[in-house]
């Protein structure tokens, strides 16, 4: 943290936020940080807002490995937002550095039709964009594993395991395990269609390929984190654990275990 001083603030301006941002800027300057207007000049990227804002900041700045990402929440703490805009003294404490740790979060690399590659920190989801179900042939390391029919599938990272994946009754995965989890959205299981029916945790050495069966409902929505890709006619989505990790900082008393407890058990 000490050698990183150029900060880019990512937020959606509003009248409510502006006075708080000014106070934050004052604290930053006092601690020797410089605010930059271009994200390219930054080595710290701070999002202000919820987890959704943090995910957007990553996407808009291209999942940079040479930057530290910091999430600052303006309402309540999230999974990626360790700092609270209303507790400036805590941010100031964090900026002085021995109270914070750098964490490295695994991401997923998603390639559509062998051409376009995207990254995600929470999950990649493929969902029907109409009322009809659609089918996906699932391949793991080139082995045909199952044919899914239903509303869609979600492949999540460990940190994304507490998001959409959890609503689908997936397991919560410790981010220290580089892995990805395949989960179903309302699969049909009868004499015609058969899927595993439970979440599947795969190691970082596996490659997952989801081939959209071209049988009439061939244009599902593909989304990476909270953004739908504008790709309408995709046939094949391949997903693996990326070499790219996102560096973020957290306060020492706010581990993954603290966050899971705080969010789901209190």
User: Where does this chain bind ligand NAD (CB under 6 A)?
Assistant: 50-52, 78-79, 122-123, 159-160, 162-164, 167, 225-226
Give the separation between CA 64 and CA 4, rounded to whole angstroms: 14
Is 25 within 8 Å of 34 (Cβ atoms)?
Answer: no
Residues 6+ apart with CB under 8 A from 22: none
Q: Which residues lie below 8 Å from residue 258, measured CB to CB, with a gap of 6+?
A: none
CB of 130 to ligand NAD, least distance (A): 17
The angle that helices 18-30 and 88-95 make with each other, rounded to 10 degrees, is 30
Please give the Cα distance from 147 to 129 (Å, whole number): 19
Q: DSSP label at 125? A: E
User: Phi/psi of residue 53, each to 5°?
Assistant: -65, -40
Q: Cβ neighbours of residue 226 under 8 Å, at least 6 residues apart?
A: 52, 55, 56, 122
Please report how close the Cβ of residue 29 comes to ligand NAD at its closest, in angstroms. Answer: 28
CB nearer to ligand NAD: give 50 or 106.
Answer: 50
Q: Which of 83, 81, 64, 86 is nearest to 17 (CA)?
A: 86
Q: What would the two tokens of residue 113 be? A: 């039709």
Least separation in angstroms between residue 217's CB and ligand NAD is: 20
Closest CB 221 distance from ligand NAD, rounded Å? 11
Closest CB to ligand NAD among 161 and 234? 161
Among 15, 37, 41, 51, the active-site one is 51
Smaller CB distance to ligand NAD: residue 35 or 171?
A: 171
Angle value at C-alpha 241, between 239 and 243, nearest 5 degrees: 125
Nearer to ligand NAD, 95 or 163 (CB): 163
Catalytic (active site) residue 141: no
- Minimal distance, residue 80 CB to ligand NAD, in Å: 7
Give 94 or 160: the residue with its C-beta nearer to ligand NAD: 160
The catalytic site residues sit at 51
């Amino acid at each position: 943290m000490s050698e990183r001083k150029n900060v880019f603030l990512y937020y959606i301006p509003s009248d409510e936020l502006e006075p708080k941002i000014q106070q934050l800027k004052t604290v930053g300057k006092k601690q020797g940080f410089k605010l930059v207007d271009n994200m390219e000049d930054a080595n710290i990227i701070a999002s202000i807002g919820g987890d959704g804002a943090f995910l957007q900041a990553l996407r808009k700045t291209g999942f940079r490995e040479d930057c530290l990402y910091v999430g600052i929440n303006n309402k309540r703490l999230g999974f990626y937002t360790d700092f609270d805009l209303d507790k400036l003294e805590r941010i100031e404490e964090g900026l002085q550095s021995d109270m914070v740790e750098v964490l490295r979060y695994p991401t997923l690399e998603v390639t559509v039709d062998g051409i376009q590659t995207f990254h995600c920190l929470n999950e990649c989801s493929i969902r029907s964009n109409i009322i009809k179900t659609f089918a996906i042939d699932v391949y793991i390391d080139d082995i045909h594993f199952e044919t899914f029919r239903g509303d869609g599938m979600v492949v999540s990272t460990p940190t994304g395991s507490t998001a959409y994946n959890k609503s689908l009754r997936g397991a919560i995965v410790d981010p220290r395990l580089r892995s990805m989890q395949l989960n179903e959205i309302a699969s049909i299981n009868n004499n015609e269609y058969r899927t595993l029916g439970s979440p599947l945790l795969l190691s970082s050495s596996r490659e997952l390929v989801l081939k959209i069966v071209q049988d009439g409902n061939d244009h599902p929505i593909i989304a990476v984190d909270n953004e739908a890709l504008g790709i309408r006619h995709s046939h094949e989505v391949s997903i693996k654990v990326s070499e790219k990790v996102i560096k973020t900082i957290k306060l020492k008393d706010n581990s993954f275990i603290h966050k899971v407890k705080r969010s789901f058990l209190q």
